[in-house]
Amino acid sequence: MTRRPEVVVVGTGIAGLTTARRAAQSGCRVTLVTKGSLQETATAAAQGGVAAALRADDTPSAHAHDTMVAGAEHNDPAAVGVLTAEGPARVQELIDLGVPFDRDAHGALRWGLEAAHGAPRIVHAGGDATGAAIERTLAGTARDDGLRIAEHACLVDIVMAHGRVAGVELLIDGRREILPASAVVLATGGAGHLFAHTTNPAVATGDGIAAAVRAGAAVRDMEFVQFHPTVLAAGDSFLISEAVRGEGATLIDDTGDRFAFETHPDGELAPRDVVTRAVTRRMAQQHGHPVRLDATALGADFLAQRFPTIDAAVRARGLDWALDPIPVTPAAHYLMGGVVTDLDGRTTVPGLYAVGETACTGVHGANRLASNSLLEGAVFGHRAGNAIVADATTGSWPEASGALAAPPAAAAADAPPFSRRLLQDLMWQEAGALRTRAGLDRAASVLAAWSATPLPRTDVRAVEDANLLQVAGLVVAAARARTSSLGAHHLSDEDAADDLTGRQLVSAC
C-alpha cells in the first residue's frame, strides 16, 4: 500500500487554505502551520473583492486583457489564461462553500468596478470585508475537515535531504522543532513590512520567500512592489479600497484640483501604479502633504452600507468622509515577484511548492490588477493541491530561469547598525514608488553592510528581521538590474527634469 504524502502548508490565507483543502481531498495528510493565529492573514484584511468573468456579458479573455494591460504586458500569458479561465469555477466553489457574497434585492450577485477593469466583475462580501468572509469560511472548513493546525509556529527553514524537501524547521514557544514532510507549500504572503508604510498585516515579513531562497529556490520579478495609492494618512496605514474610487470618489490636491486625469485618461481608475505615482508626485509638490479622497458625493448612508469597515475606521479616527474629503497617501501593498513556480505551484526545488503572494507564476506581470490576488490564491492553490499527489509518484520540477544580474555593491563604510525601522525607512526612501539609480545603489551598499554579519535568528522577531533583510537584498538587486522603468518599478531618472522632485515621498502617515 502506498503511503499518503505528508504535506506541510505554511500560511493560512486563501492560497494556503485552498491548497491544504485540495491536497487533503486528494488523499494527503496535511498540517497547516502559521506564525500567528489561523485567521491572522492578509486575506482576512482584504477589502477589495474577487474578480472573475462570471457575468453573461463578460469573458475570461476580457479579464485577461485587463490583467495584461495593468501588468504592463510583463505577465506570463499562460498564467493569465489559467487565472481568468479557471477563476469563475473557483469563485463558484467559494459560493458553494458558503462565502456570503453580496447580493441585490433579487438575490443576484452584486458586481463592483475597480481600477483598470473594463467591466464590473468584482464580487464583495460584507461590502468591504470580502477577505474576512472568505478567511472565516475556509478556516471553518479546515477545522471541520480535521486538518492538523499548528498556530504560533514560525518557519525557520526548509529541511532538505538528498536534494529534495524533507520537512520544515519551526520555532514554537522558543524551541526549534522539525516537522517531517514529503512536500512543503509556502503560502506566507508578501513582505510589506520591508517598507515604513504598508497595508499588510504584521506577519508579512517575507518568511516563505527567504526560506525558499535559503533552500536553493529561484525567485523572479522581485523589483515589482505595488504601492496602493489610497491609504488613510491618519494614524496607522489603513487601506481605503480602490472600490471607493470605483463607486465614484475622486482624488484632489490642496487646491481642490482633480489631478489624476493629468497622467492618464482613466483618471482615478487608471492602473494602480499610475495612480500611485500621480499621488506621490502631487504630494511632493505640496511638500509631503497628503492628497485627499473626496467621497462626499456618495452620501453617508451609501458609504456606511457599502463600506462598513472603512466607514467605521475613518470615523474612529475622528473623520467624517461623508462631509469632508479625507487625507490619503500611498503605502506598500503587494509583491508581484516571489518564488518562481510553474502553473501548479512547483518551485525549482523538488518537493517545494509556493502559492499566492509568496509565489511568482508571472500572472501579475509588473503590476497586479485590483482584486486578482484573492482569485490567484484560489486558482493556483487549487492547482497546487491537485499536483502534490500526482507529484508523489511522477513529479518533474521546473528549471531555474535566468534572472537579471545586478552589479555587485560595496558595503557602505558609514552604515548605522541594523534595525528594522532603519531598514524600512531605507526601503521606503530608496526602493519605493519612485526610484533612482543612485538611490538604489545607496540602498544596496547599506544592505551589503548590514548583511556582512548574519543576524542571529534566536526568536520570532529576529527570524523576521533576518528574512526582511534578505528579501530587501533581493528587491534592491532586482531593481538595480532592471535599468529602465516598467510597471511598478519606476526610475524617476527617466522622467522629465521637473518630475525628479517627486522622488522623495514624504508620508503623512
Going from the C-alpha of 64 to that of each of 4, 267, 306, the distances in angstroms are 37, 21, 27
Taking the least distance from each CB to ligand SIN, the nearer of 243 and 314 is 243
Report CA dihedral (189, 12, 140, 104) to the nearest 10 degrees.
10
Tell me how many helices (H) and strands (E) the chain has: 14, 17
- C-beta of 488: minimal distance to ligand SIN in Å? 13
**Interaction of residue 338 with ligand SIN, rule CB under 6 A:** no
Report the alpha-carbon distance of residue 152 to residue 331 in Å, rounded.
27
Taking the least distance from each CB to ligand SIN, the nearer of 138 and 369 is 369
Nearest of 483, 326, 457 to residue 405 by alpha carbon: 483
Q: Which of residues 394-423 bind ligand SIN (CB under 6 A)?
A: none
Taking the least distance from each CB to ligand SIN, the nearer of 292 and 503 is 292
Instruction: Tally the residues of the chain.
Output: 509
Report CA dihedral (29, 34, 39, 40) to the nearest 10 degrees.
-170
- C-beta of 268: minimal distance to ligand SIN in Å? 12
Going from the C-alpha of 490 to that of each of 224, 280, 403, the distances in angstroms are 9, 12, 19
Backbone angles phi, psi at 131, to 5 degrees: -60, -40
Report the alpha-carbon distance of residue 309 to residue 55 in Å, rounded.
27
Q: Among 84-92, 142-150, 240-248, 289-297, which window interacts with ligand SIN (CB under 6 A)? A: 240-248
**Interaction of residue 123 with ligand SIN, rule CB under 6 A:** no
Q: Which of residues 278-337 bind ligand SIN (CB under 6 A)?
A: 334
Three cell numbers written together for 104: 441585490
Taking the least distance from each CB to ligand SIN, the nearer of 102 and 391 is 102
- DSSP tag of 115: T
Q: Among 238-246, 351-359, 454-462, 473-481, which window interacts with ligand SIN (CB under 6 A)? A: 238-246
Handedness of CA 313, 315, 321, 325 (dihedral sign): negative
Taking the least distance from each CB to ligand SIN, the nearer of 31 and 373 is 373
How many of the chain's residues bind ligand SIN (CB under 6 A)? 9
Taking the least distance from each CB to ligand SIN, the nearer of 122 and 222 is 122
Residue type, 425: D
Report the alpha-carbon distance of residue 148 to residue 151 in Å, rounded.
10
DSSP per residue over 19-43, as a string?
HHHHHHHTT-EEEEE-SS-TT-SHH
**Interaction of residue 52 with ligand SIN, rule CB under 6 A:** no
- Contacting residues for 415 by C-beta, under 8 A, at least 6 apart: 445, 446, 449, 450
**Interaction of residue 243 with ligand SIN, rule CB under 6 A:** yes
**Strand partners for 177:** 170
Active site residues: 272
**Interaction of residue 495 with ligand SIN, rule CB under 6 A:** no
Q: Among 19-27, 72-80, 241-249, 338-346, which window interacts with ligand SIN (CB under 6 A)? A: 241-249
**Interaction of residue 48 with ligand SIN, rule CB under 6 A:** yes
- C-beta of 146: minimal distance to ligand SIN in Å? 32
Three cell numbers written together for 423: 531598514
Backbone angles phi, psi at 381, to 5 degrees: -65, -45
> Does an H or E element contain 101, and which?
none
- C-beta of 375: minimal distance to ligand SIN in Å? 9
Place of cell 490567484: 376
**Interaction of residue 348 with ligand SIN, rule CB under 6 A:** no
Q: Which of residues 354-383 bind ligand SIN (CB under 6 A)?
A: 370-371, 373
Backbone angles phi, psi at 230, to 5 degrees: -125, 90
**Interaction of residue 242 with ligand SIN, rule CB under 6 A:** yes
CB atoms within 10 A of CB 107: 6
**Interaction of residue 241 with ligand SIN, rule CB under 6 A:** yes
- C-beta of 214: minimal distance to ligand SIN in Å? 28
Handedness of CA 424, 428, 431, 432 (dihedral sign): positive
Taking the least distance from each CB to ligand SIN, the nearer of 132 and 370 is 370
Report the alpha-carbon distance of residue 445 to residue 246 in Å, rounded.
41
Taking the least distance from each CB to ligand SIN, the nearer of 190 and 473 is 190
Residue in 47, 75, 329, 367 binding ligand SIN, rule: CB under 6 A? 47
Nearest of 8, 5, 26, 25 to residue 16 by alpha carbon: 8
- C-beta of 313: minimal distance to ligand SIN in Å? 13
Taking the least distance from each CB to ligand SIN, the nearer of 240 and 388 is 240
Residue number with the smallest Cβ distance to ligand SIN? 48
Place of cell 486528494: 26
- C-beta of 504: minimal distance to ligand SIN in Å? 25
Q: Which of residues 198-227 bind ligand SIN (CB under 6 A)?
A: none
- C-beta of 425: minimal distance to ligand SIN in Å? 24
- C-beta of 368: minimal distance to ligand SIN in Å? 7
Where does this chain bind ligand SIN (CB under 6 A)?
A: 47-48, 241-243, 334, 370-371, 373
